[in-house]
Structure 1
Amino acid sequence: MAVRHRVNVNRMNRFSEWRSKIAGAPGKFVATMDHLLQPGQQSWSQLQALYRADRIALSESARANVERAHDFLLEVVASGKTVYGVNTGFGQLANVRVEEAQLHQLQDNILRSHAAGLGDPLPTDVVRWMLLFKVCGLVRGHSGVQPQTVDRLVDFYNHHLLPVVPRQGSLGASGDLAPLSHMCLPLLGEGELMQQDGDGQWVTRPAMEVLQEKGWSPISLGPKEGLALINGTQMMSALLAHSLQRLEYLWQKAHGIASLSLAAFEGLDAPFHPAVHTLRQHAGQQASAGEMRRWLDGAAFLRETHEWVQDPYSFRCIPQVYGAVRQAIDQGIATLEGEATAVTDNPILLPESGEVISAGNFHGEPLAVILDHLKVAASELGTMSERRIFKLLSGTRGLPPFLATDPGLDSGLMIVQYTAASIVARNKMRAMPASVDTIDSSNGQEDHVSMGANAGLQLLAVIQGTQEVLASELLTASQALHFRAEPGLSNRQTEWLSAFRATVPPQHGDVEQSARMRASIDFLQASSNQGLSL
């Protein structure tokens, strides 16, 4: 049952004394020409606009929320009541009362002691999402942090100063404690920050060195602030946001690549007829079929007559499989829209009613489950792609075995399929759910955890593997079309294939494949950034 502490909202004795102890305020950004951050739920498109914004600023209502919650917190402290995380230890040490004179040290200590992560740093894109989501949660006005603390996080965001955050250390309940501790240590002038040099390369520097260069003083944390900063689901949310961005690109590309494979295989377009998919009524399936029709619109090869009346499932069932992937992406977006601006620390302050409630919004299960779902979905994009590679190399429908120029003397793209199969097998292992696992922590106080961060890290790896398989299919389809005298592609297919072949031309005879495969991966990445006919 939730623990509630009710405080007299009119009690002001010692209120001004606490306010005088707060120091270290950074300069505020003026809202003019900035993307204003409003409190409350944001759509996926709004979140992406904030992420892409060079600068953000708090709206008046956002700042008012932060100030109101902080004022209320100071009243709680002045009341002398024992409140978890405000004047107690943490986790299993929650019953240890901390004296008033040590409250600032208590909050500094939690950032230092909980910064216990290991592993390679998280990608910079993920850390930027983490910063944004932390600010989004704090401006709801239920955490009690100082306005200047939020301003400093915005300073980091606007100056593209990204904390170095090791990727390993979160159990996904009590939030992402270790990663968020690393993210917030630079507020104290500790830890490390990354910034781009003149060539656009990320350089790691000591946080205090950067603060001094900017003329910023370290923040002196007030009561509850350290806990509010590190108790949240922002790493899991950031992994979800970054993954959704990449998956939406890959979902589009997968259809374009599949359409080229269909042309090379001289496949049929009947399976994409809109009437077929209206009868099943899955929105994702209908969207996938529509995407295939757009890629194939005007393709002459579809007018040819062949002796075969059906294609293998890896061609015929693209809408059913890729449609399910689309629906998983949409579910991920819905989950993120509910989580990105949520209040996920503990305890939660309710200034309006004068309550402080200790509960469990930090638990990452809603994120862990959808991250696991997306691992399966992303894996399936690659699994079906690898099957089409196999078919194009099978020596059927007029194509030479392994697309070799001189089969027997040449092996063609034989081993490209081996590599794709290896990646697909690895993806399947990573797609096993992380959220069904749990390990006791904090001496049994935290006896069920989500493992959502592990799920998110696995998802990043699955997406990367799927991109590699799709790039291999694109390479294979391009080579197969090289053996078709009149491929009869649509204008959209022709444009994209020409762009690809300008980077990776068809091969003549056997060549080293790994360099061509890497170039294909780079092309996919570049086309996603440039919007090449997708």
Structure 2
Amino acid sequence: MITVQPTGVTPADVVAVARGDAKVTLAPATVAAMAASRAIVERIEASGRPVYGVSTGFGALANTFIDPSRRAELQHALIRSHAAGIGAPMPREVVRAMMLLRLRSLALGHSGVRPELAQGLADLLNHDITPWVPEHGSLGASGDLAPLAHCALVLLGEGWVLAADGRRLDADEVLRDAGLKPLQLAAKEGLALINGTDGMLGMLLLALDDARHLFAMADVTAALAIEAMLGSERPFRPELHAIRPHPGQAASAANIHKLLQDSRIMDSHRDDLAHAVQDAYSMRCAPQVAGAARDTLDFAAQVAARELISVVDNPVVLPDGRVESTGNFHGEPLAFAADFLAIAAAEVGSIAERRVDRLLDVTRSRELPPFLTSDAGVNSGLMIAQYTAAGIVAENRRLAVPASADSLPTSGMQEDHVSMGWAATKKLRTVLDNLTSLLAVELLSAVRGLQLRAPLPPSPAGRQAIAAVAPFAGEPGPDIFLAPALEQARTVIAGRELRTGIESQLGELL
């Protein structure tokens, strides 16, 4: 159970609700903060003075005064008109994260809405009702208007719901079946449901959770590949990284150094200086690349943490009774962070593919057979798996082009600069999914290389990896149908079992 406080929620809370189906409840202090904020809006509405979002139109229509008798109609019309997305539905976990974060935004007590709105979002989450949110529609300013409007429309008993089997259901029927009643909006409440960075932030937080694990697994697959290619562990010694004190680099080097210990394969050439005075960059510089990605991840996490305690609504209701317009809904901080992290993750995948290519090349793999098959010619081994990896690297390079450098004016030039943060965070998730595939190819290739070093036993990490991969990839031999093996390798990379098994023997990876 996640209790939403007036101070908001944590990144772990978002992951728990989005991916772990945790239930949501509102703290009494949250309800009180929202009620106090709402009282201010009701006083302003009664006074008759024009205030954006309370008694005026929106965007380019901000100077249009709305008669009190039509202000509830205005809020409902706003949701319907802004639910203008198109395309395939966003994943369930993204929509759940977005709803929790919009609830969090309302709970901060600066939006001037009734507690019933936050409770309505909690009810959707707790009844596993996921609005159908199309993938296209947000420019990242004024926040994620269209995606959030699709969520808000379900609260009104309108719009669509995403079924577990992927079908699109009518919201009114789903609410009725769950015993929930549609909400009727009051002044400002429609605007408060859709103005903010919740979609961008939700995707960024989920991406950060994925990236932390994948960057650790990148150290694992790098170490396995280095071991299989008879690389040296000397470049990963801590004193060599202390003299260049980037924290991510030190952590990655420590991981790889730890993973390469207690290996008879490494012992077989450890003191042979003629064997390899210097390994190739893709081996020797693994911590410098993966470590820089870790530092980028830390930067993105700092941005996300600040956003989690930020008021991103517009206008905002201040405790002294003022209602002020802001630009806090602009998604540029999140867009920059997502673009930067996408570049870093693309590079982690790029250097992994270079190690795969080296493992498969008989002229560079240090006596491993061509394409890691002992019967080359009749068999192609993992030749085409590297083709697949190369194609994914090329796609990630295209996806690493910053979305945040783009902008198109909207709303009659009122909203004349936008962040493209929705696009930046969405493509970041694609880059990380692609990175999972690239590390899967490296895992399969490295394990095959370690198997071909028999009878020399590998490191404890190598033995764990072989045990995880052998059930679906077998031993070196005739060619197999590779696609299922690669899918299973993706599951190993994305899951926690291999990492947990390694850590149970070697201690926690950084």
- TM-score w.r.t. length of structure 2: 0.93
Q: CA deviation at 1:357?
A: 0.5
Q: Distance in 2 between matches of 1:41 and 1:293?
A: 40
Q: Distance in 2 between matches of 1:193 and 1:533?
A: 41
Listed one character per residue, the Cα deviations across residues 35-83 of structure 1 (whole Å, up to 9, x for unaligned) are: 3222226543454456546212111221111111111111111110101
Residue aligned with 1:83, SS = coil
Instruction: Select 2:396's aligned residue among 427, 431, 440.
Output: 427
Q: CA deviation at 1:410?
A: 2.4
Where does 1:114-513 land on structure 2 (aligned, <5 Å)? 114-194=82-162, 196=164, 201=165, 204-305=168-269, 306=272, 307-350=275-318, 352-395=319-362, 396-513=365-482
Say if 1:346 and 1:360, in contact at 8 Å, map to a contact too.
yes
Say if 2:232 and 2:276, in contact at 8 Å, map to a contact too.
no
Instruction: Judge which range, 240-249 or 220-229, deviates more.
Output: 240-249
Q: Distance in 2 between matches of 1:528 and 1:87?
A: 56
1:522 aligns with 2:491: yes
What does residue 61 of structure 2 align with? 93
Say if 2:211 and 2:297, in contact at 8 Å, map to a contact too.
yes
Distance change in 2, residues 1:529/1:55 (3 Å): farther
Distance change in 2, residues 1:68/1:530 (3 Å): farther
Q: Distance in 1 between matches of 2:51 and 2:45?
A: 9
Q: CA deviation at 1:401?
A: 1.5
Say if 1:180 and 1:229, in contact at 8 Å, map to a contact too.
yes
Q: CA deviation at 1:531?
A: 4.8
Q: Distance in 2 between matches of 1:121 and 1:362?
A: 23
What does residue 507 of structure 2 align with? none
Instruction: Judge which range, 39-48 or 54-63, deviates more.
Output: 39-48
Say if 2:8 and 2:105, in contact at 8 Å, map to a contact too.
no
What does residue 11 of structure 1 align with? none
Q: Distance in 1 between matches of 2:11 and 2:298?
A: 10
Q: Partner amino acid for 1:275?
A: E
Q: Distance in 2 between matches of 1:533 and 1:73?
A: 56
Residue aligned with 2:469, SS = helix
Q: Distance in 1 between matches of 2:17 and 2:241?
A: 36
Q: Distance in 2 between matches of 1:328 and 1:528?
A: 26
Q: Partner amino acid for 1:484?
A: R
Q: CA deviation at 1:131?
A: 1.0
Q: Distance in 2 between matches of 1:204 and 1:314?
A: 47
Q: Partner amino acid for 2:104?
A: C
Q: CA deviation at 1:264?
A: 0.7
Listed one character per residue, the Cα deviations across residues 163-219 of structure 1 (whole Å, up to 9, x for unaligned) are: 1111111000100011110111111001122354xxxx5654221112112222210
Q: Distance in 1 between matches of 2:339 and 2:65?
A: 39
Instruction: Select 1:57's aligned residue among 17, 21, 25.
Output: 25
Distance change in 2, residues 1:505/1:527 (3 Å): farther
Say if 1:42 and 1:337, in contact at 8 Å, map to a contact too.
no
Q: Distance in 1 between matches of 2:329 and 2:341?
A: 21
Q: Structure 1: 5+ residue runs without aligned partners?
A: 1-33
Say if 2:8 and 2:107, in contact at 8 Å, map to a contact too.
no
Where does 1:11-50 land on structure 2 (aligned, <5 Å)? 34-40=1-7, 42-45=9-12, 47-49=14-16
Q: Distance in 1 between matches of 2:232 and 2:257?
A: 11
Say if 2:450 and 2:462, in contact at 8 Å, map to a contact too.
no
Instruction: Judge which range, 73-82 or 509-518, deviates more.
Output: 509-518
Listed one character per residue, the Cα deviations across residues 131-174 of structure 1 (whole Å, up to 9, x for unaligned) are: 11111111100001111111010111122211111111100010
Distance change in 2, residues 1:358/1:451 (3 Å): same
Distance change in 2, residues 1:97/1:487 (3 Å): farther
Residue aligned with 2:169, SS = strand
Residue aligned with 2:412, SS = helix
Distance change in 2, residues 1:144/1:414 (3 Å): same
Q: Distance in 1 between matches of 2:167 and 2:498?
A: 23
Residue aligned with 2:88, SS = strand
Q: Distance in 2 between matches of 1:66 and 1:529?
A: 46
Distance change in 2, residues 1:532/1:114 (3 Å): farther
Q: Partner amino acid for 2:350?
A: T
Say if 1:103 and 1:223, in contact at 8 Å, map to a contact too.
yes
Question: Alignment identity in percent?
Answer: 40
What does residue 72 of structure 1 align with? 40
Say if 2:88 and 2:134, in contact at 8 Å, map to a contact too.
yes
Q: Partner amino acid for 1:492?
A: A
Q: CA deviation at 1:529?
A: 10
What does residue 506 of structure 2 align with? none
Distance change in 2, residues 1:429/1:300 (3 Å): same
Say if 1:175 and 1:363, in contact at 8 Å, map to a contact too.
yes
Residue aligned with 2:452, SS = coil
Say if 1:162 and 1:195, in contact at 8 Å, map to a contact too.
yes
Q: CA deviation at 1:440?
A: 0.7
Q: Distance in 2 between matches of 1:508 and 1:266?
A: 22
Instruction: Judge which range, 81-90 or 360-369, deviates more.
Output: 81-90
